[in-house]
Amino acid sequence: MFLAALCLLVMGVNVWILIDHLLTIDVPPALQHPVKIWIMHYLFSVMMTWLVFTWSSLSECYHSLCSLLAKETDSVVLAVGYRKLPAYPHPFGLQDCIAASTHFLKNLKAYGVDPSRVVLCGESIGGTAVAVILQTFLGRPDLPQIRAQILIYPVLQLVNLQLPSHLQNQNTPFLTRNLYLNCLYRYLNIDSSWRDALLTGAFIPPDIWMKYKKFVGSDNIPERFRKNIQQPEFPGPFNKAAYLEVKHCLEVEISPLVADDEVIAQLPEALLVSMNWDILRDDTLLYKKRLEEQGVPVTWYNLEDGFHSGIFFFDKILSFSCGWRIINAIVSFTKSI
For residue range 45-85, list pLDDT tens digits in order: 777 666 544 444 656 678 889 999 999 999 999 999 888 87
- In angstroms, rounded to a whole number, what is the distance separating the alpha carbons of residues 74 and 170? 38
- In angstroms, rounded to a whole number, what is the distance separating the alpha carbons of residues 285 and 35? 29
Residue 170 has a CB neighbour count (10 Å cut-off) of 18
Q: Where does the pLDDT of residue 1 fall: very low under 50, low under 70, confident under 90, or very high at 90 and above?
A: low
- Give me the catalytic one of 21, 278, 282, 283: 278
Handedness of CA 128, 130, 134, 140 (dihedral sign): positive
- In angstroms, rounded to a whole number, what is the distance separating the alpha carbons of residues 166 and 184? 14
Mean pLDDT of 118-140: 97
75 CB burial (10 A radius; 0-12, 13-18, 19+): middle
Class of domain 55-336: alpha beta
DSSP state of 27: -
Per-residue pLDDT tens digits for 192-242? 999 999 999 999 999 999 999 999 999 999 999 998 888 899 999 999 999
Q: Based on the residue annotation, tell me whether 124 is a catalytic residue of this protein.
A: yes
Mean pLDDT of 293-321: 90
Q: Where does the pLDDT of residue 40 fall: very low under 50, low under 70, confident under 90, or very high at 90 and above?
A: confident
Backbone angles phi, psi at 165, to 5 degrees: -65, -30
Contact 310, 263 (CB under 8 A): no
Which range (18-22, 53-57, 122-126) has the least confidence? 53-57
DSSP string, 114-179: -GGG-EEEEETHHHHHHHHHHHHHTT-TTSPPP-EEEEES----SS-S-SHHHHHTTT-TT--HHH
Is residue 245 within a helix (H) or strand (E), and if so which, with residue range? helix 240-246
Contact 186, 85 (CB under 8 A): yes
Per-residue pLDDT tens digits for 87-104? 889 999 999 999 999 999
Tell me the three state secondary structure of residue 253: coil
Q: In what order do the strands lie in the sheet with 269-277?
A: 119-123, 148-152, 269-277, 298-307
* Cα dihedral 289/65/125/47 (nearest 10): 140
Say how many Å lie between the first and final Cα of the chain, rounded. Answer: 63
Mean pLDDT of 29-38: 82
Query: Residue 95, Cα to own-chain centre: how many angstroms?
Result: 17
Q: Based on the residue annotation, tell me whether 192 is a catalytic residue of this protein.
A: no
Predicted confidence at residue 9, as pLDDT, reads 43
Is residue 19 within a helix (H) or strand (E), and if so which, with residue range? helix 2-24
Of 168, 240, 165, nearest in space to 197 by CA = 240
Contact 154, 134 (CB under 8 A): no
- pTM score over 0.85: yes
Q: Where does the pLDDT of residue 39 fall: very low under 50, low under 70, confident under 90, or very high at 90 and above?
A: confident
Q: Based on the residue annotation, tell me whether 278 is a catalytic residue of this protein.
A: yes
- Give me the catalytic one of 101, 124, 255, 309: 124
Domain boundaries, the chain: 55-336
- Give me the catalytic one of 21, 166, 308, 309: 308
Predicted confidence at residue 13, as pLDDT, reads 47
DSSP string, 52-92: GGHHHHHHHHHHHHHHHHHHHHT----------TTTS-TTH
Which residue type, as a one-letter code, is found at position 128? T
Query: Helices 2-24 and 34-49 meet at what angle, rounded to 10?
Result: 140
